[in-house]
């Protein structure tokens, strides 16, 4: 109660009701090490109901991580270690970034997949832990939880335990305002083992028994339905929706502390209690850690372990295929060749797709399918669950030891934008493969033709976005994604694309294609399949006596990060520029004086016809160059 009161902001009600559960998890059940929160074989704890963050912060302080009492006092303040919702990488002990409801639950499914794969690869002496997640009514209402729960049940992820905080309260009021789902029945239909615990939220021994029973693998993920009372033991706000999102007043807090029999003192933390708590946590951690260190030596000395868990990046560039200039290859096929060529060097690679495995080039030839009966399969068939796929991939990446790659059509990034955003926010090393990248999709029409999606992804902070010109740029973009310290979006073509580059621009963000034309009157900048079109337009212009340079710019963010001297060598100041991209021109004014693009939705027609009729053709590029030069076509 004290944190939200000091901040005049926050959610204390859920945290109050779950305090006994959190106490039992941290002090009696979970396997973790406060002195080394990043220990590889720790249990993972995810507070999917991230609005109750003060609960997790309290437990991290009590158990002896680096989170201090002053950090608790600074709850929700600028620059504090205790932000409004838990953020991965912000403080030790927080595994994933939770805030948008349901994301943490779906991340937990990915973590459970990661644990299973690594356990199969390295053995139970090295990897054998559980993923614990607390989810509320809001988490399980959100659609992503349905996708992720169905996948988890199908895969039989039996090291995954979810406690459903069944408090029957939302911000608007009781859950009966909006839903009458049979949650236990729903999860049983997904293939989960469901236990309805009833009213044991204050019974520590009963909670311990239930949690330890759920820890025993039985081939199914577990859902424990715990009936709680939000705001308990407040005499004024127990079972009230006001306890959810509104900070208690000082009087509310004082009256509740009187019921609890503790002093009305802010952040009351008796030294003897904290000392005893930390002593217990340290004793349990030392026992678990010493056993693990003695039994996992062989696995931890293997080359595969080093490749999965060391901070050193794996260089796969020498294994990459290359293509001759003039060859015609769809970049979605080039990524598959790159994945196949590097799979032996990346033991933690996991590839998959939302029911578009062959279409997106994400089927790795040497991988078998992950399933309940084939738990070491590194090919995940996510089904038609883009949102669940993206969130599970973020969970895998943040678990550690896994490099997840997942593909779908580019237009469906709209179904998975929350996990893409959270991957960027948390620095998760995920590779999102988006294919069928323009109106060249053709006959499927505007519902499947992305025009605005690329501009949207480019606007997202800390997301590395690459739209390669051809197969060579695609292969090199993959080598870069493998070593990048955050998420990468590879935006690839459905149709065959003429090879026109050596691929190097994928590293620097932009590069000159063909002749440098140091005295160029104008520069044509393209991305993706349009770079070949720029080359064709340049030939027409040169034949007419114009000096032009062609630049491939697969990655704005990477080019923007280059030294000014390099950027000026590619795009010399004062030289007029024309950009060419089969999508929205939004944002291109940073790089070009004239834009050839598509600022409308597409149309159903063969791909080459759609491109031509929407103005992505040589004539339009030539006209734009003449226009920027102020001369007649």
Positions annotated as catalytic residues are 386
Q: What's the first-to-final CA gap in the chain, in angstroms?
A: 72
Cα separation, 535 vs 212, whole angstroms: 65
Residue with tokens 């935006």, as numbered in its chain: 491
Pure H helices in 31-157:
53-63, 69-73, 103-122, 137-141, 143-155
Q: How far apart, in Å, are the Cα atoms of 276 and each of 34, 62, 476? A: 14, 9, 54
Phi, psi (rounded to 5 degrees) for 248: -60, 150
Sequence-distant (6+) residues with CB within 8 A of 201 are: 17, 18, 20, 21, 207, 226, 227, 228, 229, 232
Task: Classify 170 as helix, strand or coil.
Answer: coil
List of E strands, 507-601: 511-513, 522-526, 548-552, 577-580, 594-596
**Sheet architecture: strand order including 403-409:** 379-381, 349-353, 403-409, 431-435, 488-491, 464-466
Cα separation, 204 vs 97, whole angstroms: 28
Task: Classify 494 as helix, strand or coil.
Answer: coil
Structural contact between residues 578 and 629, judged by C-beta atoms closer than 8 angstroms: no
Task: Classify 399 as helix, strand or coil.
Answer: helix
Establish how many alpha carbons lie within 13 A of residue 205's alpha carbon, considering only the half-sphere containing its beta carbon.
0
Choose among 12, 144, 37: nearest CA to 95.
37
Choose among 503, 497, 522, 423: nearest CA to 463.
423
378: left (phi over 0), alpha (psi -120 to 50) or beta: alpha
Residue 233: cis peptide before it, omega within 30 degrees of 0: yes
Cα separation, 204 vs 179, whole angstroms: 30
Cα separation, 215 vs 578, whole angstroms: 61
Strands 464-466 and 488-491: parallel
Pure H helices in 427-555:
453-458, 471-483, 505-508, 530-543
Other beta carbons less than 10 A from residue 534's beta carbon? 31
Cα separation, 64 vs 278, whole angstroms: 5
């Amino acid at each position: 109660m004290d944190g939200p009161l000091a901040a005049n902001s926050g959610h204390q009600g859920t945290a109050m009701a779950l305090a006994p559960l959190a106490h039992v998890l941290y002090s009696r059940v979970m396997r973790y090490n406060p002195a080394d929160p990043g220990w590889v074989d720790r249990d993972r704890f995810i507070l999917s109901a991230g609005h109750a963050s003060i609960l997790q912060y309290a437990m991290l302080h009590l158990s002896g991580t680096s989170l201090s009492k002053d950090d608790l006092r600074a709850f929700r303040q600028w620059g504090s270690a205790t932000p409004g919702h838990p953020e991965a990488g912000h403080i030790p002990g927080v595994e994933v970034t939770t805030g948008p409801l349901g994301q943490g639950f779906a991340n937990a499914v990915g973590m459970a997949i990661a644990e299973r794969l690594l356990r199969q690869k390295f053995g139970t002496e090295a990897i054998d832990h559980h993923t614990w997640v607390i989810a509320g009514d809001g988490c399980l209402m959100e659609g992503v939880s349905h996708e992720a729960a169905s996948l988890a049940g199908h895969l039989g992820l039996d090291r995954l335990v979810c406690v459903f905080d069944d408090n029957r309260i939302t911000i608007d009021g009781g859950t009966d305002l909006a839903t009458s789902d049979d949650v236990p029945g729903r999860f049983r239909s997904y293939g989960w083992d469901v236990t309805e615990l009833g009213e044991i939220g204050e019974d520590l021994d009963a909670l311990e028994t239930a949690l330890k029973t759920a820890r025993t693998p039985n081939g199914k993920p577990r859902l424990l339905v715990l009936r709680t009372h939000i705001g308990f033991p407040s005499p004024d706000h127990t079972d009230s929706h006001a306890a959810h999102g509104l900070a208690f007043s000082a009087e509310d807090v004082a009256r509740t502390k009187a019921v609890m029999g503790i002093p009305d003192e802010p952040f009351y933390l008796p030294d003897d209690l904290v000392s005893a708590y930390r002593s217990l946590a340290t004793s349990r951690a030392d026992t678990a850690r010493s056993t693990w260190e003695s039994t996992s030596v062989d696995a931890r000395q293997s080359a595969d372990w080093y490749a999965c868990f060391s901070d050193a990046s794996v260089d796969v560039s020498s294994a990459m295929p290359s293509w001759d200039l003039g060859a015609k290859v769809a970049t979605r096929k080039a990524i598959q060749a790159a994945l196949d060529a590097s799979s032996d060097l990346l033991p933690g690679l996991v590839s998959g797709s939302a029911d578009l495995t062959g279409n997106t080039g994400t089927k790795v030839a040497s991988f078998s399918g992950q399933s309940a009966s084939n738990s070491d399969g590194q090919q995940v068939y996510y089904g038609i669950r883009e949102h669940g796929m993206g969130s599970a991939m973020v969970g895998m990446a943040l678990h550690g030891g896994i490099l997840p790659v997942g593909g779908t059509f580019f237009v469906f990034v709209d179904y998975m934008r929350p996990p893409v955003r959270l991957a960027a926010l948390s620095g998760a090393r995920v590779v999102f493969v988006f294919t069928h990248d323009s109106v060249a999709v053709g006959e499927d029409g505007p519902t499947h033709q992305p025009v605005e999606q690329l501009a949207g992804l480019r606007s997202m902070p800390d997301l590395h976005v690459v739209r390669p010109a051809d197969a060579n740029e695609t292969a090199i973009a993959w080598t870069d994604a493998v070593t990048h310290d955050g998420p990468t979006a590879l935006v690839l073509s459905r149709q065959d694309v003429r090879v026109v580059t050596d691929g190097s621009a994928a590293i620097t963000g932009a590069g000159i294609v063909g002749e440098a034309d140091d005295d160029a009157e104008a520069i044509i900048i393209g991305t993706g399949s349009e770079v070949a079109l720029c080359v064709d337009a340049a030939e027409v212009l040169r034949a007419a006596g114009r000096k032009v340079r062609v630049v491939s710019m697969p990655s704005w963010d990477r080019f923007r990060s280059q030294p000014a001297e390099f950027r000026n060598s590619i795009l010399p100041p004062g030289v007029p520029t024309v950009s060419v991209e089969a999508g929205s021109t939004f944002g291109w004014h940073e790089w070009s004086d004239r834009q050839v693009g598509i600022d409308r939705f597409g149309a159903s027609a063969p791909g080459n016809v759609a491109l031509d009729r929407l103005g992505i053709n040589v004539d339009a590029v030539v006209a734009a160059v003449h226009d920027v030069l102020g001369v007649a076509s």
